[in-house]
Amino acid sequence: MPPSAPTAPRILSLMTRIARLATAALCFAGTAQAHSLEEDGLYLAFRGYGAINDQNNLHFSASREFGGAVGYRFSDVWRVEAEYARRWAKITGLNGALTTKGDFDSHTLGVHLFRDFQPEKKLRPFVGLGIGGGILDFDFKGPADINPDFIVIGNDTNISTYGNVFAGSTYHINSQLRVGLGFEYFSFSDQAVESNIGDIDGINRSYNFFASMRWRPDFSR
């Protein structure tokens, strides 16, 4: 007898199986592509910071920072960076001399460790922490509150260590470029700032936001 013609239920069953296989193949391909979005290896990073709030005995305003880093991703979720950054701000007051004016400037070198989440996604949250050291320059003067005829003057350079923590997210643009936004808590070690009224307790902490860009060179070309 000739084989019977396929019935509608059999055709529907076959189409369902094909659809399931196709869906599984697409999911696998998508996962494979997602896992290859960030390859291990060397990259360059750039960050621009702005202060949300500063915690200092010297009052800062217009606090800004720019940093550049060389990084290395060594797994789907871990990466490390060595960063140079310059931070600067206007000094707009001092406890006991509230109309003091001047400038603050710092240059830092640090090592930061990051932990990324959701390796299969384009949008990846991250956390990080770092340690480092820097050179801090203070230059300010202004009348004392209790005796305006007396001018408080400070011109000092300190060497200080720092610690910081990060949290944010990055977004995959293409195989070489990611952009990101985040927040940072940054704290220099407390050191006195020399002035003509003696040492001023140095408290230098800040809460910052930042925008970032990460670029991975393609050495295969």
Residue 220 within a domain: no
pLDDT range class, residue 120, cuts 50, 70, 90: confident
CA neighbours closer than 13 Å in the CB half-sphere of residue 193? 25
pLDDT tens figures, 37-82: 678 899 999 999 988 877 777 888 888 899 999 999 999 999 999 9
How many Å apart are CA 80 and CA 69, to the nearest integer?
10
Q: Can you tell me whether residue 21 is helix, strand or coil? A: helix
Q: Looking at the structure, do residues 45 and 31 belong to the same domain, yes or no?
A: no
Q: Looking at the structure, do residues 87 and 121 belong to the same domain, yes or no?
A: yes
Residue 221 within a domain: no
pLDDT > 80? residue 8? no
Structural domain range at position 158: 41-215
Q: Looking at the structure, do residues 21 and 94 belong to the same domain, yes or no?
A: no
Q: Looking at the structure, do residues 2 and 87 belong to the same domain, yes or no?
A: no
Q: Looking at the structure, do residues 78 and 96 belong to the same domain, yes or no?
A: yes
For the entire predicted model, the pTM comes to 0.76
- Nearest to residue 94, comparing CAs of 150, 159, 49, 51? 150
